[in-house]
Amino acid sequence: MRIGWALLMTVMVMASTTAEQEPQLLRLMPWPESVKTVPGSGRLIVGNSFSVSVSAGGANPQLRRAVAIFLDDLRRHTGSLPLDFAFAETGKGQLQISVDRASKQVQELGEDESYSLEVTASAAILKAPSTLGAMRGLQTFLQLAQITPQGFSVPTLVIQDKPRFPWRGLMIDSSRHFTPIDVVKRNLDGMAAVKLNVFHWHLSDNQGFRVESRRFPKLHEMGSDGLYYTQEQVREIVSYARDRGIRVVPEFDMPGHSTSWFVGYPDLASGPGPYSIERKWGVFDPAMDPTRESTYKFLDEFIGEMAKLFSDEFFHIGGDEVNGKQWDANARIQQFMHSHSMKNNADLQAYFNERVQKIVAKHGKIMEGWDEILHPDLQKSIVIQSWRGQKSLADAAQQGYRGLLSSGYYLDHMDPASAHYAVDPFTGPTAGLSDTDKQKILGGEACMWAEYVSPENIDSRIWPRMAAIAERLWSPQNVTDVDSMYARIDKINSWLDAYGLTHNTARMLMLKRTADAEEVSSLHTLADAVVPVGIDGRYDLPSVKPTALTPMNRLVDAAAPETVKGRQFAALVDAFVSGKIKPGMEAEIRSTLTQWRDNDIHFRALAENSALLQEALPVSRDLSALGQAGLEALDYLDRAEKAPEDWKTQQLALTQAAMQPKAEVVLIVAAPIQKLIQASAGEAPTNLPLPKSAD
């Protein structure tokens, strides 16, 4: 059964009993496996006397902590002070939780996360086999507690829910730019809110080694600019994540992406030092020396230390993007390869991976790596994370390896939520896998590579798009309706603010700072019409290549990867040019176009005082011209007069030029305006009804 928009409409519930009230969309993301509403049966009020009971069987300390966290979240979501929230006797209270058993002390892959939630006007009953399922159900309850004319309340309904995939993750790269502890914590809160269960922590790369090592202190002392996590902080994060049902998988990238290790320990490298922390981006030559026993002795001691610090059973060794140049240039390494009958660098890396896998296993862990590590010599227990396409995921599964999908979930590409939502671990090359091979695909992870993120704007690159990926990995495969996803993500977007995530608030602050003015509405109008270019454009476009030291205080850094305004305008124009015209539609399009046309004069006044805004002057000029072009197109349509050929050619050239990135942002609204111009010239989509009759 396809859970499309139509079905979703049937589960819209009345916000109040008054007939004129708009139906309220269920604010749920990820969408549960099954939702049945009970229309007309009222709502459960979440008021001052709200109380919670926990069944005796499940009253383990884990669950008590989970409920305490839930109540804290509920207070923040509702703005309530800690009033009468209290544990009631079993079977009493407005929220009755019953759990059969505690989850594992150290959370494991594949633990039961299922739950059921039944809400009547008098109580909500949450049942789960284990604490982990109760945590997921509590988040569902939180999402449903919405403000209504009667106060905060939850609709009456019955939910049965469980995840589609057991591995649903977010990777954060804390090496390219350091992620302070509070930023990690608020993102863990956001992850728990959308039922993600793996935080993959990319802790070392060329640009920084981010964990304190007591055994090899020069790693963090010389490789981090002082920006690293103490072991105490790591334990704090692991425990914070555990309390929210999230595993923490550390990644120490090797043998490439490892310059920061060599600053303190140059003997690990395959080429002569000295080394310094890399400030640029890309793939670099330094790589560990796989031929020396001293390398494995070092890794044995290092991995042994880290294996104790990180309790999860998986240990990620990276393994991506080794260019092999240091190996090619080293006569001793070449001699080693020759004497071991290795044909190429891939064989040498496979040898390294085999040795490292034994070390990882010796310390009680299962090795994970990016898809480059896939090699028939490696043990079948390892997990392959596919970043180079679904084919490598299918190949891994067919060769008997478990795998995860990250290709298509790269948040730094700045694609819209809909693009990520369309990527499924079981489409494309993986669709044809046998059922047994499909079992090997554990789920997926979104990747937040940090070349162009700061603690200030990282949340805006993760949220709310992460919620769409979380839904893809949790909800049934047939939950694919993009309109429904956007309707709900728009609600979840501001709901996530209560977790202290700054994806909405930071943009405001950053824009204000660029202008140093109180009244910045023209800047907001411009920012709403643009999106930042993705990681490739950030590097390729500027004449001076950015580095780790480049400030991130420009329009491109503040602009969101997707704007509600841009999306809604595109949808409005699509409906308009395809003849699905509703009253008021043209007026709305006109009003937006007029605002854009007239924005430039106000923006110019702001930019006069700001070196940071001046680069955006051409973008603002383009937006003004686009507004004018769109209005002229509407005028032709209104007069039912086909736009002249030379006007059309000129305007299309203008939209094409406006679509080119400037100041590393793209005017996302140029494409719909192009459609208006085409429509006014009688080009597809054709058969426009007379627009005059629309308003």
**Residues at the site binding ligand ACM, with contacts judged by CB under 6 A:** 320-321, 370, 387
Among residues 672, 665, 638, which one has the least CA distance to residue 532? 665
Q: Is 221 left (phi over 0), alpha (psi -120 to 50) or beta?
A: alpha
Cα distances (Å, whole numbers) of residue 186 to 148, 256, 455, 477:
27, 31, 11, 29
The secondary structure of residue 211, as a DSSP letter, is B
d(CA 420, CA 423): 5
Q: How far apart are the first and last CA of the chain?
A: 38
* Closer residue to ligand ACM in complex, CB, 186/200: 200
Cα distances (Å, whole numbers) of residue 114 to 166, 346, 425, 457, 559:
11, 42, 21, 34, 38
d(CA 6, CA 490): 19
Shortest Å, Cβ 234 to ligand ACM: 22
Among residues 472, 487, 494, which one has the least CA distance to residue 421? 472
Rounded (10°) CA dihedral 467, 169, 246, 400: 140
Taken as a whole, the chain contains a residue count of 695
For ligand ACM, the nearest residue by Cβ is 320
* Closer residue to ligand ACM in complex, CB, 451/600: 451
d(CA 472, CA 265): 42
d(CA 244, CA 237): 11
* Closer residue to ligand ACM in complex, CB, 310/370: 370
Shortest Å, Cβ 602 to ligand ACM: 41
Among residues 149, 144, 210, 226, which one has the least CA distance to residue 175? 210
Q: What is the sign, positive or negative, of the torsion defined by CA atoms of 406, 411, 414, 417?
A: positive
| Contact (Cβ atoms closer than 8 angstroms) between residue 364 and residue 312 | no
* Closer residue to ligand ACM in complex, CB, 298/387: 387
What lies within 8 Å, CB to CB, of 368 at 6+ separation is: 249, 251, 314, 315, 316, 317, 382, 383, 384, 385
* Closer residue to ligand ACM in complex, CB, 387/474: 387
Shortest Å, Cβ 448 to ligand ACM: 11
What are the two backbone dihedrals, phi and then psi, of residue 208, each rounded to the nearest 5 degrees?
Answer: 175, 140
d(CA 48, CA 589): 45
Shortest Å, Cβ 372 to ligand ACM: 8
* Closer residue to ligand ACM in complex, CB, 30/319: 319
The secondary structure of residue 446, as a DSSP letter, is E
Annotated catalytic residue 451: no
What lies within 8 Å, CB to CB, of 571 at 6+ separation is: none
* Closer residue to ligand ACM in complex, CB, 370/474: 370
* Closer residue to ligand ACM in complex, CB, 206/655: 206
Among residues 296, 305, 231, 216, which one has the least CA distance to residue 262? 216
Q: Catalytic one among 108, 118, 305, 321?
A: 321
The secondary structure of residue 155, as a DSSP letter, is E
* Closer residue to ligand ACM in complex, CB, 412/471: 412
* Closer residue to ligand ACM in complex, CB, 141/387: 387
Shortest Å, Cβ 180 to ligand ACM: 23
Shortest Å, Cβ 509 to ligand ACM: 30
DSSP annotation string for 530-552: EEE--HHHHHHS-SSPP-TTS--
Shortest Å, Cβ 387 to ligand ACM: 4
The secondary structure of residue 373, as a DSSP letter, is G
Shortest Å, Cβ 546 to ligand ACM: 18
Tokens of 578: 């395809």
670 three-state secondary structure: helix
Shortest Å, Cβ 159 to ligand ACM: 36
| Contact (Cβ atoms closer than 8 angstroms) between residue 280 and residue 291 | no
Shortest Å, Cβ 575 to ligand ACM: 38
Cα distances (Å, whole numbers) of residue 187 to 90, 106, 190, 466, 503:
33, 21, 5, 11, 11
d(CA 244, CA 590): 47
Residues with a catalytic annotation lie at: 321
